[in-house]
Amino acid sequence: MRDETRLSHPSAPLSAVLLPVKRIMRKTLLCFSAVLAFLFATDFCQAQSDVQSHPACPLCGMDRQQYAHSRILLQYDDGSALGVCSIHCAAMELTLNRQKTVTQFSVGDYRTRELVDVKKAAWVIGGDRPGVMTSRAKWAFGRRSDAEGFAREHGGKISSFEEVMKAVFQDMYEDIKLIRQKRVKPSATMQDIKDHPECTYCGMNRQQYAFSRMLIRYRNDPAVGTCSIHCTSIDLALNTDKMLGVILVGDYKTKKLIDAERAVWVIGGKKTGVMSIQGKWAFEDRRDADAFIEENGGRISFFEEAMKATFEDIDELLR
């Protein structure tokens, strides 16, 4: 009652009136700031909890805390979850586990590091910032305005998630080439089938698929035997840290192992591919490739194009 009388009295000093108001406002602001700080800290901890649960990328071993701005969290309908370092490794995980159903697909916001839905995010492809596991960067932003600001400052193209996934597989072979080393001489024997009777990734009989089988020789690691260029692409994408020696492939006609990068490839045609939508066959002799096309269709190509086509096919299989 005393305060109400002083507020209405014309002779009450203005400072006496404002002082209690200032004190109340100060306390209110302090409380509000404390609440905001608590909420921010809670959100930050929740956003970073996946890093504690999945500290390292299981595909490449990279520290997910260090790459919180590009990390991915995949959750499946069976209750399992997997944390990887980037959209590159996420694409490989999806390829290896096509039979699983993804219920949540989240990516680290480049600016805030908080996890956001990959399909709702605004993505930027390219720009002057080095990508994670790729030469052409792919960054996600929870707010489109942040993506636009990044693109203005660093370059790149605003893109949808579908465009990003397509770009991931388009770039896959170029990214693998970054770690290529000197070749070793190819083998002309069938010893590789005895050493590696089954495909490392799909379990298929490599003797049965001798005409499409491949052998990846690393300089300081054991060789890997696969059934086809499809499974070879998976191994190369998973092992970019290894020193590569040579990639060998079975000649479609002779079944002899030849250098995959020096072979003449045929893409397409009426012959059903091995683990792939379209066939990709290798020949040591160009004349054998021409004869194959005359009988079965397809087009002459080379290893680099065959690898790019393989990753594009994987993208289609995942849709």
**Domain residue ranges in the chain:** 2-184, 191-318
Candidate from 15-29, 105-119, 123-137, 295-309 with smallest mean pLDDT: 15-29
Residue with tokens 């300089």: 219
Alpha-carbon distance of 225 to 198, in angstroms, equals 7
Q: Which pLDDT score, from 0 to 100, does residue 48 have?
A: 62
Alpha-carbon distance of 62 to 70, in angstroms, equals 12
**Is a pLDDT exceeding 70 seen at residue 191?**
yes
Nearest to 246 by CA among 210, 214, 278: 214
* Mean pLDDT within 3-21: 45
How wide is the angle at C-alpha 158 spanned by C-alphas 110 and 277, nearest 5°? 100
Q: Which pLDDT score, from 0 to 100, does residue 3 have?
A: 46
Digit-coded pLDDT (tens) for 256-277: 999 999 999 999 999 999 998 8
Encoded tokens for 117: 């839905």
Alpha-carbon distance of 229 to 214, in angstroms, equals 7
Binned at pLDDT 50, 70 and 90, residue 219 comes out as: confident
Residue with tokens 């995010």: 121
Model's pTM, two decimal places? 0.60
* Mean pLDDT within 274-296: 94
Digit-coded pLDDT (tens) for 25-71: 555 444 444 444 444 444 444 446 899 999 999 988 888 999 999 99
3-state secondary structure of 46: helix
As a 3-state breakdown, the chain gives helix, strand, coil percent values, each rounded to 5, of: 40, 20, 40
3-state secondary structure of 107: strand
